[in-house]
Amino acid sequence: MSDRASPLRSLEALLFISDEPVTSAVLAQALGADRAAVDGLCEELARGYEERGSGITLRSVAGGWRLTTHPEAAPVVEQFVLASRHTRLTKAALETLSIVAYKQPVTRHQISGIRGVSSEGVLRALVDRGLVAEVGREETPGRPVLYGTTPEFLERLGLPSLSALPPLAPLLRAGTADVEAETAGTD
C-alpha cells in the first residue's frame, strides 16, 4: 500500500459517513493534515471516481465536500428511493411495528386498542413492505388474523432474533419519567 492510499482511504471513510457537506477545515482536523493538503486529496479522490466511471462523485458544495450519486445514475436512484420498501417509516408505522414486535402474535384489533386509533391502513402498509405478515388465526369468534414480524424486519433492524430486542421495562420507565417531568412543570 502506498503512503497516499491511507489518507485517501481515511478521507473517503469520513466523507462516506457524513450526511452533509464537510469543510476542508473539519476534514483537515480529523486527518491531522493542513487544509491545502485535504483539498488536494479531495480533488484526487474526485478525479479517481470520474476516471473509473464510478456511480458516486465527490463534489465541493455548500462550502464543503460531499459524496453524491453520479447524475447519470439519477433515474435508477430515484426509482430505488421511491420504491415503498425503502422509504422511511412514519411515526404511526413505527408505533404499529413496535407493538407487533413486542406483542406478537397480535390481532389488528389489539394493535388499534393499544394505539387508540385504527391501525388497518398502517398494518397493510407494513405487510406490503414485508416487515409484518399474517402468522395465523386467533381461535376466537370471527377467527381474526394474527400478525407477527418477518425475517425482513430482523434484517432491516440488524437483529439476529426477536430475543435481541431491547427489554421494554427500561423504555417504559424512561417514558414515565419524561411525562412526569413535563407535568411537573405545568403546575
**150-169: pLDDT as tens digits:** 998 988 888 888 988 888 77
The set of cell numbers assigned to 173 is 420507565
User: What values do phi and psi take at 117, rounded to 5?
Assistant: -145, 165
Asked if residue 81 belongs to a domain, the reply is: no
CATH classification at residue 44: 1.10.10.10
Q: Are residues 104 and 173 in the same domain?
A: yes
**Are 93 and 44 in a shared domain?**
no
Q: What is the pLDDT of residue 171?
A: 64
Of 29, 45, 73, the domain-final residue? 73
Q: Are residues 104 and 176 in the same domain?
A: yes
The ranges of the chain with pLDDT < 50 are 1-2, 179, 183, 186-187
The pTM assigned to this predicted structure is 0.50
Q: Are residues 171 and 112 in the same domain?
A: yes
Flag whether 83 is in a domain: no
Same domain for 92 and 158, yes or no, is: yes
pLDDT of residue 158: 82
62 assigned to some structural domain: yes
Q: How far is CA 62 from CA 15, 83, 160, in A?
A: 14, 29, 40
Strand spans (E) along 119-182: 132-137, 145-149
- Does residue 11 form part of some domain? yes
Question: What's the CA gap between 73 and 85, in Å, rounded?
Answer: 20
- Number of structural domains, the chain? 2
pLDDT tens digits, 5-26: 688 999 999 999 988 899 999 9
- The contacts of residue 110 (CB under 8 Å, 6+ apart) are 99, 103
Question: How deeply is 37 buried, as exposed, middle or buried, from its count of CB atoms within 10 A (0-12, 13-18, 19+)?
Answer: middle
Identify whether 168 is part of a domain: yes
**Residues 56 and 131 placed together within one structural domain of the fold:** no
Statement to judge: residues 180 and 93 lie in one domain? yes
CB proximity list for 100: less than 8 A, separation 6 or greater: 106, 111, 126, 132, 147, 148, 149
Q: What is the largest CA-CA distance in the chain?
A: 74
Q: Does residue 106 sit in helix, strand or coil?
A: strand
Does one domain contain both 41 and 118? no
48 and 135 fall within a common domain: no
Full residue range of the structural domain in which residue 160 is found: 88-184
